[in-house]
Amino acid sequence: MGIKIVSRQLSGEYEKVLRREQRSFMTGNEVVAWAALAAGADLMYGYPITPQNEIMHYWARLTPHFGRGFLQTEDEMSAGFAMPGGALVGKKTFSATAGPGNILMQEPIAMAEMMRIPGVWIIQQRGGPSTATVIYSQQELRLTATGGNGEGLRIVYSTASHQELFEYTIKAFNSAWRYRFPTFVLGDGYQAKMREAVTLFRPENRGWELVPAEPILCLPGVPARDRDPVHLRNTFNLEEELYTRLMDQLAVYERIAPEVTEWEAEVPPEPEVLLVAHGIVARAARQAKESLNRQGWKVGYFRPVTVRPFPGQALRQIAAASPNLRLLVVESAYGQLLAMVKAELYGLTNPVDSLLKPGVGITAEEIAAAVDQTEEGEAVS
Amino acid sequence: MRRVLEAYVGEYASGKSENAINRGLRLVRAGRRVRLVDLDLVEPAYTLRPLKRKLEAQGLQVLAWETKELIGPGEAAIPLKKEIVSALAFPGDVIIDVGYGVEGRRLLNLIEGGFAQANGEEALRLIMVVNTTRPVTSSLPLILAYLDEFGAVDGLINNTHLGEETTVELIQEGAVLVTAAARRVGCPVLATTALRPYARQLGSVDRMGNPVWPIERFMSGAFW
């Protein structure tokens, strides 16, 4: 055909896609790649697994035009351990994985927790346990929120639309580098592959400040003379050393939790039922709430946006204000969100029902029908 | 009667499967024998398989795996159905849904005769589906760059839409871009395709004089 468009020209064209802020028809995985670009991510380390593959594909396609980097490692452990290397020299690094890949990455993520090294992980949940299905689930909630051999010192945003995938991916980079805790965007196979309209933008054009990535190691000056030495550790000789260090980190985490925690709540006066769901299922729950409200049901809706830290206090206040309020927890897993909700409601007497469908999608109609059928709840004890 | 042999190619999520299905059904309704082939080996069996029976009930012969036939390590590898290799050896029209962007084109070498050069009236034509709201094909330079990377095609289809936010004006803007790209590379725009309500408003031709083909949505019944 003989038409050669050099990559320099294309970077300008791709830049226009971000700057003109037009509605685009996209898959969620693509949205994440563009979000990482807009967030100023420098490097992606990744290993293929469905349903996140197109995050890698689009990142690898776009980055040559923007001078960013991509490395496909030999497995997820390697990708996870390469990330802190990039972060230590001042690069914004990220990865994307799912299912068994999420399990393998927990070891490097736990190291990043212990050493307070920032990084962003995108999780597109697939069916489990093991390789199960490549399609969809919400079964990686517990693993993503508290995986690793520790207390889960991490931030996890659970998204419900392509616009949120774009905006929370950018936000995840800011949170990771502001607080220096591993930060996650918890999506799923449906969000990864489904197509819907989204507005991409340059965060700077919306007044969003991007937290810079500063080098953590090899700082200027002589250690101990000009500055404190940087001594990042994930191994300790004594119980007391670990205890002291960990209690400091837990205190930091608890201090930042209130400003990090996000949720959505819509509660009518004198509510009878409160739908509790996260991620894509929350979108169906919200539709169900609206349709039930039109039929005269006093149904409310609560969605944790951060599933770690969990907005437990906000949920507890709603439940405590209406002792007869029945909660209906809905998730594409067998009781992972339910367990988190029950832990937060300890001591209250609100009945808690659930609609649990591990590994399959849940429609607004199914949720509305479950509310309709709900007679006797199970008391929290 | 001259056979229609077409492979639908193009950017990921540009509407290839939807257009291939609709093309096949249009030919069926014109009284022709039509075979629709699932050649998506990257997301194998997730596109046409859930729709197979529904499409067959409408008279299309569909070459794709049945759920009960499927074995293997999931997305890591699904065997090629042996009938697909000889898909073109069929006494009627053959429409091939080729998955996954530029890489998808390479799959055509798995089809006997898939890369045959114009052989009288029996050459497989490559039809590229373009939606100009997809970021990587959203401007003339980007569409041209995509075509350059892809290689020669025999025609373009303007399938510009924004899901539920589609407007007639948006489709017309897509037609302008796609037609400009087609002129630059010297291939025709076969049609602008749009869901019926929009097609009705567009009329029989779009702003650039390309025919408008009304389509129906089928892929909402597939997994992804």
Give the mean pLDDT per block of 10 residues along chain B (224 residues).
Answer: 90 92 96 92 67 92 80 66 87 89 74 62 87 96 93 95 96 98 97 97 98 90 56
Last residue of a domain, one of A169, A200, A231: A200
Chain A residues inside the 8 Å CB shell of B141: 5, 9-10, 13
Is residue A301 classed as helix, strand or coil in its secondary structure? strand
What are phi and psi for residue A296, nearest 5 degrees?
100, 0
A179 & A298 share domain:
no
Rounded to whole angstroms, the Cα distance separating B103 from B16 reads 14
Q: Could you tell me the residue range of the domain that residue A335 belongs to?
A: 264-374
Q: What is the number of domains present in chain A?
A: 2
Q: What mean pLDDT comes out for the span A197-215?
A: 97
Are A319 and A275 in contact by the 8 Å Cβ rule? The answer is: no
Task: For chain A, give the percent of residues with pLDDT over 90.
Answer: 93
Do A194 and A279 share a domain, yes or no?
Answer: no
Question: Which pLDDT tens digit goes with each residue over A253-288?
Answer: 999 999 999 999 999 999 999 999 999 999 999 999
Higher-confidence residue of A194 and B222: namely A194
Contact A197 B164 (CB under 8 A): yes
Q: What's the full length of chain A, in residues?
A: 381
Q: What percent of chain A has pLDDT over 70?
A: 96
Which residue carries 């949205």 as its tokens?
Answer: A31
pLDDT, averaged across chain A? 94
Are residues A171 and A297 both part of a single domain? no
Q: How many CB pairs under 8 A join A and B?
A: 78
Does some domain include residue A250?
no
Question: E strands within chain A?
Answer: 23-27, 43-46, 69-72, 93-97, 120-125, 155-158, 183-188, 195-199, 263-266, 273-276, 299-304, 306-308, 326-331, 351-356, 378-379
pLDDT tens-digit profile of A62-96?
998 999 999 999 999 999 999 999 999 999 999 99
Q: Are residues A168 and A296 in the same domain?
A: no
Write the DSSP symbol of residue A345: T
Determine, yes or no, domain membership for A133: yes
Residue A225 belongs to a domain: no
A193 and A288 in one domain?
no
Kindly determine whether residue B135 and residue A54, on different chains, have CB atoms separated by under 8 Å.
Answer: no
**Interface contact A135-B139, CB threshold 8 A:** no
One domain for residues A11 and A150:
yes
Q: At what angle do helices B140-150 and B168-185 cross, to 10 degrees?
A: 50
- Residue B101 has a pLDDT of 66
pLDDT for position B218 = 86
Nearest CA in chain B to A31: B135
Give domain status of residue A241, yes or no.
no
Convert the pLDDT of each residue in A1-53 to its tens digit: 445 555 567 889 999 999 999 999 999 999 999 999 999 999 999 999 999 99
B46, B161, B184: residue with CB nearest A3: B184
Residue among A4, A26, A194 whose CB faces B224 most closely: A194
- Given a cut of 50, whether residue A379 has pLDDT beyond it is no
User: Which of B13, B145, B148 is the closest to A27 by Cβ?
Assistant: B13
pLDDT of residue A2: 46
Task: Please judge whether A27 and B12 are an interchain contact, meaning their C-beta atoms are less than 8 angstroms apart.
Answer: yes
Find out whether A52 and A19 touch, Cβ atoms under 8 Å: no
- The whole-angstrom separation of Cα A33 and Cα A56 is 7
Are B163 and A135 within 8 A, CB to CB?
Answer: no
Is A235 contained in some domain? no
With contact defined as beta carbons under 8 Å apart, do B37 and B84 qualify?
A: yes
Is the domain of A88 the same as that of A164? yes
CATH number of the domain that A293 lies in? 3.40.50.920
The identity of residue A269, as a single letter, is: P
DSSP string covering B135-201:
GGGSSHHHHHHHHHHH---SEEEE---BTBT--HHHHHHHHHHHHHHHHHHT--EEEEEEEHHHHHH
Residues 96-125 of B with CB under 8 A from A: none
Please list, residue by residue across A117-151, b when 16 or more beta carbons sit within 10 angstroms of its beta carbon and e when fewer do: bbbbbbbbbbbbeebbbbbbbbbbbbbbbbbbebe
Given CATH 3.40.50.300, say whether it is the number of domain B5-221.
yes
pLDDT at res. B40: 76
Residue A263 structure tokens: 């949720």
Residues of chain B with C-beta less than 8 angstroms from the C-beta of A61: 136
DSSP string, A69-106: EEEE-SSHHHHHHHHHHHHHTT--EEEEE-HHHHHHHH
Distance from CA of B175 to the nearest CA of A (A): 16
Does residue A239 lie within any of the structural domains? no
Rg (CA), chain B: 17
Q: Which of A3, A50, A197 sits opposite B165 (nearest CB)?
A: A197
**Across the interface, do B224 and A26 touch by the CB < 8 Å criterion?**
no
How close B133 gets to chain A, by Cα (Å)?
5
Report the alpha-carbon distance of residue A47 to residue A101 in Å, rounded: 8
pLDDT at A124 over 50: yes
Residues of A in Cβ contact (< 8 Å) with B165 = 23, 197
**CATH code, domain carrying A61:** 3.40.50.970
Which member of B145, B162, B224 has the closest CB to residue A25? B162
pTM of the model: 0.93
Nearest to A37 by CA among A61, A10, A6: A61
pLDDT at B118: 45
Structure token pair of residue B135: 């970021």
Co-location of A154 and A293 in the same domain? no
* Single residue among A155, A174, A200 that ends a domain in this structure: A200
Which helix (H) or strand (E) element contains residue A281? helix A279-294
Contacts of A5 in chain B (CB under 8 A): 141, 144-145, 148
